[in-house]
């Protein structure tokens, strides 16, 4: 998929990460669609998100209105 959401830390695309490909098995969403719809760290402006492993590594940032990847 062109312009597929990418983890801003490890630079992996949604389709390269087991946590998203597993969620989509037998479903109607692609890993990219799943990230866009369900991933709380997804930033529509940058097309970045933070996968779980990287989110933990960067200290699990949060804020009063949530946290989005830069």
Which range, of 6-10, 34-38, 61-65, averages the lowest pLDDT? 61-65
Domain span at 52: 6-57
What is d(CA 64, CA 46) in angstroms, rounded to the nearest whole number?
21
Residue 25 is assigned to a structural domain of this protein? yes
Residue 63 located in a structural domain: no
CB 42 within 8 A of CB 68: yes
Is 62 within a domain? no
Give per-residue pLDDT as tens, 19-40. Answer: 998 877 778 889 999 999 999 9
Q: How far apart are CA 3 and CA 62, in angstroms?
A: 26
Q: What is the pTM of this model?
A: 0.87
pLDDT at 1: 47
The total domain count for the chain is: 1
Q: Is residue 64 part of a domain?
A: no
């Amino acid at each position: 998929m062109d312009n597929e959401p990418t983890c801003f830390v490890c630079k992996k695309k949604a389709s390269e990460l087991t946590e998203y490909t597993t969620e989509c098995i037998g479903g109607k969403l692609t890993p990219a669609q799943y990230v866009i719809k369900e991933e709380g760290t997804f930033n529509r402006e940058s097309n970045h998100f933070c996968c779980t492993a990287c989110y933990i590594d960067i200290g699990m940032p949060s804020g009063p209105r949530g946290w989005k990847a830069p």
